[in-house]
Amino acid sequence: MIKCQSKGSHNIVILHLMSAPLAERIRPKTLSDYLSQQHLIGPNGALTAQLDSGVLSSMLFWGPPGTGKTTLATIIANQSNRPFYTLSAVDSGVAAVREVIEKAKKTDTLFSTKSPILFIDEIHRFSKSQQDSLLGAVEKGLITLIGATTENPSFEVIPALLSRCQVYILEAFSKKDLEDLLHRAIKEDELLSKKDITLKETEALLRISGGDARKLLNVLELIVLSEKEQEVIITNDIVLQKVQKNTVLYDKTGEQHYDIVSAFIKSIRGSDPNAAVYWLARMIEGGEDIKFIARRLVILASEDIGNANPTALVLANNTFQAVTTIGFPESRIILSQCTIYLATSAKSNASYAAINEAQRLVKQTGDLSVPLSIRNAPTKLMKELGYGKNYEYAHNYEGNFVPHEFLPKEISGTTFYKPGNNPKETHLKNYLKSLWKDKYNF
């Protein structure tokens, strides 16, 4: 905020308010004002203990656009009373990183127990060399790194840096969160609160924003400021009239993004290569990140094809590596080949269903004991306690198989993997039946 130093300073403040977007004007300053993410900052949140103690580890915030990653980092810095440096991976290089680290070294003597926080927005856009330049400072504790990313850190952050950071997932805002945010903006913002605003309907606002709180607030402001009357009644029709004509064909961070990706995946799952290539083209022409598309193909190859055609995962993974190396525009051809291959492949979600069922049972039954016969016995005491006793080494038997119970006794005989009805898995089904006789109930 600009300080008032002259007669015209009031006008300056008003101009400053009008120039800053609504999302910036009502950005939360404290955790008590921060909406959602209670799994991180609630009473039992993953971050709560760190924030209470003031002892922070380096961390990565991973979540969709507009879920409060930057805001949370700023609040953490303020609450922990640490120097706070920010960089955007879009326009910062190695030199900028080193400059911040040098500043951190100078402040370290003043804040010996609280290293400065370096916040890097869109850290997934940093190259390997840029990420490498952070390693030493993070490892030595010269800085506490907080990185924000909309992409899976496992793919976009180098392993050495990833191993030094805790990854926290920020969840998309719920409908209630977004509606609460709208009401707060109308009530508390210095400009909007001067108008008589009625939120009669919110469905169109929420749909256009695609769950992005920043976009939601900016659309709200656009509608309110476009009305000359003091009274503003917001309905779905009003929102669509004022905003829809300005909506781009494909918004990489909005509803179109998720709708078209959904259509793409479902077309492949539904074995329609023509529709799949069309939606692929829509994403490519809309400027979608080719690595994002390739990642979706890797996931689909396992989730929807699996052991019906194990080569699908190999091809999809190679596609990801290829587009990462080659880049655009040639990668469109590789993506097309992989898309068509996956769409025309046999399908099975048996592996996906198996891990879902296994996780469900783990949550239900807790930490069941590992059977003694298949426990590791590296010490004499463990052997005396029966660890590894009666274990039968499969390769010592005909066909490299001997019946043995590998599950905890409480869930003995449970079947998680049920092969699908396709040539590959029919073969697997018959093979398992020949080994286990009546144990597997397919």
Cα–Cα distance measured from residue 107 to residue 103, given in angstroms and rounded to the nearest whole number: 6
Domain residue limits, the chain = 37-169, 255-343, 369-436
Q: At what angle do helices 311-326 and 331-343 cross, to 10 degrees?
A: 170
Mean pLDDT over all residues of the chain?
85
Query: At 14, is the pLDDT very low, low, confident or very high (cuts 50, 70, 90)?
Result: very low
Residue 35: per-residue pLDDT: 82
Query: At 26, is the pLDDT very low, low, confident or very high (cuts 50, 70, 90)?
Result: confident
> Torsion-angle region of residue 231: left (phi > 0), alpha (psi -120 to 50) or beta?
beta
Query: At 342, is the pLDDT very low, low, confident or very high (cuts 50, 70, 90)?
Result: very high
pLDDT: which is higher, 241 or 112 = 241
Residue whose tokens read 């392993």: 159
Q: Using DSSP, state whether 433 is helix, strand or coil.
A: helix
Cα–Cα distance measured from residue 378 to residue 370, given in angstroms and rounded to the nearest whole number: 16
Residue 340: per-residue pLDDT: 96
Amino acid at the residue 424 = K
Q: Is the pLDDT of residue 11 over 50?
A: no
**Nearest one of 224, 209, 199 to 174, comparing CA atoms:** 209
Question: How much of the chain, in percent, has pLDDT values that exceed 70?
Answer: 90
Residue 10: per-residue pLDDT: 41
> Torsion-angle region of residue 40: left (phi > 0), alpha (psi -120 to 50) or beta?
alpha
Residue 251: per-residue pLDDT: 53
Q: Is the pLDDT of residue 109 over 70?
A: no
* Residues whose CB falls within 8 Å of the CB of residue 266, separated by 6 or more in sequence, listed in order: none
Q: Which CATH number fits domain 37-169: 3.40.50.300, 3.40.50.1000, 1.20.120.530, 3.10.450.50?
A: 3.40.50.300
Interior angle at CA 376, CA 370 and CA 382, nearest 5: 95
Residue 257: per-residue pLDDT: 66
Interior angle at CA 153, CA 70 and CA 349, nearest 5: 125
Lowest mean pLDDT among 73-82, 104-113, 223-232: 104-113
**Nearest one of 66, 70, 90 to 251, comparing CA atoms:** 66
Domain 255-343 and domain 369-436 have a common topology: no
Query: At 247, is the pLDDT very low, low, confident or very high (cuts 50, 70, 90)?
Result: very low
Could you check whether the bond before residue 310 is cis, i.e. omega within 30 degrees of 0? no
Q: What is the pLDDT of residues 277-292, one digit of tens each?
A: 999 999 888 888 899 9
Q: Which fold has domain 369-436?
A: post-AAA+ oligomerization domain-like (1.10.3710)
Cα–Cα distance measured from residue 286 to residue 334, given in angstroms and rounded to the nearest whole number: 18
Specify which of 76-80, 238-242, 266-270, 388-392 reaches the highest per-range mean pLDDT: 266-270
Query: At 19, is the pLDDT very low, low, confident or very high (cuts 50, 70, 90)?
Result: low
Q: Using DSSP, state whether 199 is helix, strand or coil.
A: strand
Query: At 361, is the pLDDT very low, low, confident or very high (cuts 50, 70, 90)?
Result: very high
Q: What is the pLDDT of residues 140-185, one digit of tens each?
A: 888 999 999 988 888 889 999 999 999 999 988 888 999 999 999 9
Cα–Cα distance measured from residue 82 to residue 239, given in angstroms and rounded to the nearest whole number: 42
Cα–Cα distance measured from residue 276 to residue 292, given in angstroms and rounded to the nearest whole number: 16
Q: Is the pLDDT of residue 15 over 50?
A: no
In whole angstroms, how far apart are CA 385 and each of 178, 362, 382? 57, 26, 5
Q: What is the pLDDT of residues 185-217, one digit of tens each?
A: 999 888 888 889 998 998 888 888 877 888 899
What's the length of the chain?
Answer: 442
Residue 2: per-residue pLDDT: 27
Q: What is the pLDDT of residues 289-307, one digit of tens each?
A: 899 999 999 999 999 999 9
Phi and psi torsions of 149, nearest 5°: -150, 145
What is the architecture, at CATH level 2, of domain 255-343? Up-down Bundle (1.20)
Question: How much of the chain, in percent, has pLDDT values that exceed 90?
Answer: 34
Residue 155: per-residue pLDDT: 80
The whole-angstrom distance between residue 205's C-alpha and the CA centroid of its chain comes to 23
Question: Which run of H or of E encompasses 425?
Answer: helix 423-436
> Following DSSP, what letter does each residue of 336-350 receive, concatenated?
HHHHHHHHTS----H
pLDDT: which is higher, 14 or 431 = 431
The whole-angstrom distance between residue 30's C-alpha and the CA centroid of its chain comes to 24
Q: What are 131's two structure tokens? A: 């990420």
Cα–Cα distance measured from residue 22 to residue 225, given in angstroms and rounded to the nearest whole number: 11
Q: What is the pLDDT of residues 67-108, one digit of tens each?
A: 899 999 999 988 888 888 998 887 777 888 888 888 887 765
Residue 125: per-residue pLDDT: 85
Average pLDDT (40-47) is 88
